[in-house]
Amino acid sequence: SGMISVSDLANKMAIKSSEVIKNMMNIGIIGTINHILDQDTAQLIAEEMGHKVILQRENVLEEMIMKDRDLGNNISILRAPVVTIMGHVDHGKTSLLDHIRSTKTAFYEAGGITQNIGAYHVKTDLGSITFLDTPGHSAFTAMRSRGVKITDIVVLVVAADDGVMPQTIEAIQHAQAANVPVIVAINKIDKIDSDADKVKNDLMKYNILSEEWGGDNIFVPISAKTGKGIDKLLNVILLQAEILELKAVPTGMAEGVVIESFLDKGRGPIATVLVQKGNLNKGDIILCGFEYGRIKSLRNQSGDEVLSAGPSIPVEILGLSKVPFSGDIVTVVRNEKKAREVASYRKEKSRESKLLKQNKINLDNMFDNI
């Protein structure tokens, strides 16, 4: 953990080094101005001298490792929008994605769908879109609370026969809190009991308004069963993306986010990573939350090994020390040994703060019991 030289400590207190050296002697430490003090000792001395100690973010190594990254040529180019499909249970989210994937993704024509990757990059005639399947509300919330933004656009699926339901409202609240534009896909319009107008009316209460009513949400009636309206939906998504002008630097060391992760008994920890910046390559050394590793292999959504992946592209990676959390940031760094040190430092810090919290809770309980 933190170290500081006598002269630096003196500087921070705006006093002469000799004053510090004198106080060191009081507690039995003999040293010159270049003497290095550990954090506890430095803190003790400073407090003895009447100074209030504020511990800085002392992970110098982490800062160094981040500064030492190659960030590419700094020229950003358009990237595919990242779209999260949300909505109430059984309103047809998966069916919609299935339909899009089966009609738009060349990968799947050969068969062999890999189910464990929760993100799909599809190519349409008008452009590419990355869909996120897994982030249910909890993952979405977790990422948002950690300040990780992965979604550019939310497609809210509402079944026209069922209407606005609790999870529809929840999804709207998440999207609005994250300030993400919402496109409404009114689904199941092939059903005779479907009522698209009712959905539109009911959504007004939640500030989801179509353009003709003065809002900025676009409504697209679709059927995930027959495929009706889905091309229109894709166009609307791409138009929205154009307005957002989504760009990223595609060169340099990659940065991304873990979408999901699990432990494969045979292959070890596996994470689906959405690349957000730069280029992620086989062989890259990564820091990923509390974990680190060298990427042994990258697989695309159809399970084929690839050598690299750029912005908005989801890939499954192999080679991490342990299973990371979804929402963890992935950063490519130069040095594996240092990556390991930073990862274990982060772990230690989190353990410490958890302990602190626990102690605080114990104290609180103690007072409660008095």
| Positions that interact with ligand GTP (CB under 6 A) | 87, 89-95, 187-188, 190-191, 223-225
Q: Which is nearer to ligand GTP, 56 or 102 (CB)?
A: 102
DSSP secondary-structure letter at 279?
B
Number of Cβ atoms within 10 Å of the Cβ of 126: 13
Give the C-alpha distances (Å, rounded to integers) separating 71 from 65, 172, 275, 309, 334. 13, 35, 14, 15, 12
Contact 273, 330 (CB under 8 A): yes
- Angstrom distance (rounded) from CA 117 to CA 133: 9
88 is in an annotated binding site: yes
Find the shortest distance in angstroms from Cβ 88 to ligand GTP: 7
Q: Which is nearer to Mg ion, 94 or 359 (CB)?
A: 94
- Angstrom distance (rounded) from CA 138 to CA 132: 14
Pairing state between β 285-288 and 280-281 = unpaired
- The pair of structure tokens assigned to 159 is 């079944």
Determine which residue in the list 94, 226, 359, 365 makes contact with Mg ion, applying CB under 5 A: 94
168 is in an annotated binding site: no
Q: Of 36-44, 65-73, 91-99, 215-223, which segment contacts Mg ion by CB under 5 A?
A: 91-99
Residue 181 touches which of ligand GTP, Mg ion, none (Cβ within 5-8 Å per kind): none
Q: Of 74-82, 90-98, 218-226, 302-310, which segment contacts Mg ion by CB under 5 A?
A: 90-98
Q: Which is nearer to Mg ion, 86 or 253 (CB)?
A: 86
Residue 190 touches which of Mg ion, ligand GTP, none (Cβ within 5-8 Å per kind): ligand GTP
Q: Which is nearer to Mg ion, 93 or 299 (CB)?
A: 93
Residue 315: CA atoms inside 13 Å, Cβ hemisphere, count?
29
Residue 128: CA atoms inside 13 Å, Cβ hemisphere, count?
16
Q: Which is nearer to ligand GTP, 69 or 191 (CB)?
A: 191
Q: Which is nearer to Mg ion, 79 or 93 (CB)?
A: 93
Contact 286, 65 (CB under 8 A): no
Contact 72, 36 (CB under 8 A): no
198 by DSSP, 3-state: which? helix
Find the shortest distance in angstroms from Cβ 85 to ligand GTP: 8
Q: Which is nearer to Mg ion, 19 or 170 (CB)?
A: 170
Q: Of 56-64, 88-96, 159-167, 295-303, which segment contacts Mg ion by CB under 5 A?
A: 88-96
Give the C-alpha distances (Å, rounded to integers) separating 122 from 234, 268, 302. 10, 28, 11
Instruction: Work out whether 362 is an interface residue with Mg ion (CB under 5 A).
Output: no
Please report, as a single letter, which amino acid is at residue 264.
D
Residue 340 touches which of Mg ion, ligand GTP, none (Cβ within 5-8 Å per kind): none
- Angstrom distance (rounded) from CA 336 to CA 202: 54
- Angstrom distance (rounded) from CA 129 to CA 184: 17
Residue 168 touches which of Mg ion, ligand GTP, none (Cβ within 5-8 Å per kind): none
Residue 79 touches which of ligand GTP, Mg ion, none (Cβ within 5-8 Å per kind): none
- Angstrom distance (rounded) from CA 272 to CA 262: 9
4 is in an annotated binding site: no
310 is in an annotated binding site: no
133 is in an annotated binding site: yes
121 is in an annotated binding site: no
Q: Which is nearer to ligand GTP, 133 or 284 (CB)?
A: 133
Find the shortest distance in angstroms from Cβ 193 to ligand GTP: 10
Residue 116 touches which of ligand GTP, Mg ion, none (Cβ within 5-8 Å per kind): none
- Angstrom distance (rounded) from CA 82 to CA 131: 6
**Binding-site residue set:** 87-94, 133-137, 187-190
**Binding-site residue set for GTP:** 87-94, 133-137, 187-190
- Applying CB under 5 A, which residues contact Mg ion? 93-94
